[in-house]
Amino acid sequence: MIVLYLGRIMEIAPSAELYANPRNACTRALLSAIPEPVPGRASQRRILMGDIPSRSTPPSGCVFHTRCPHAIEARARVVPPLEDVGAGHRSACIRNHALQTVETIPA
């Protein structure tokens, strides 16, 4: 599977790996928007804050930085490369290693 945001590849992984271990904040927010199929069960949705950027003038650096809850100062200057994070999984995030232990979407 490939996760795109504003035309940029944010994450690539085999589907089972991506659902079980989403690494990019963009992917985590996207997966959290899947409707809860069990009535009454609490939703784990992550509501993104920040400005919704224009597709015609995407943000500099990481295109997700205006909405990312983990953005740091370098996010507007550095275009994150797609980094191999193992298991056939690549994520475009300068904080791949720091965010590895941040809570993921519950199964």
Encoded one letter per residue, x for contact with ligand SF4 by CB under 6 A and - for no contact, window 75-104 reads x----x------------xxx---------
Residues in 11-50 at the binding interface with ligand SF4, rule: CB under 6 A: 24-26
- Measure the CA–CA gap between 41 and 35, rounded to whole angstroms: 11
Q: How far is the CB of 93 from ligand SF4 (least distance, A)?
A: 3
Identify residue 12 by its one-letter amino acid code: I
Count CB neighbours of 34 within 10 A.
Answer: 12
Helix, coil or strand: residue 91: strand
- Measure the CA–CA gap between 18 and 3, rounded to whole angstroms: 10
- Measure the CA–CA gap between 71 and 94, rounded to whole angstroms: 9
Q: How far is the CB of 85 from ligand SF4 (least distance, A)?
A: 12
Encoded one letter per residue, x for contact with ligand SF4 by CB under 6 A and - for no contact, window 46-75 reads ----------------x-xx--x-xx---x
Q: Which residues bind ligand SF4 (CB under 6 A)?
A: 24-26, 62, 64-65, 68, 70-71, 75, 80, 93-95
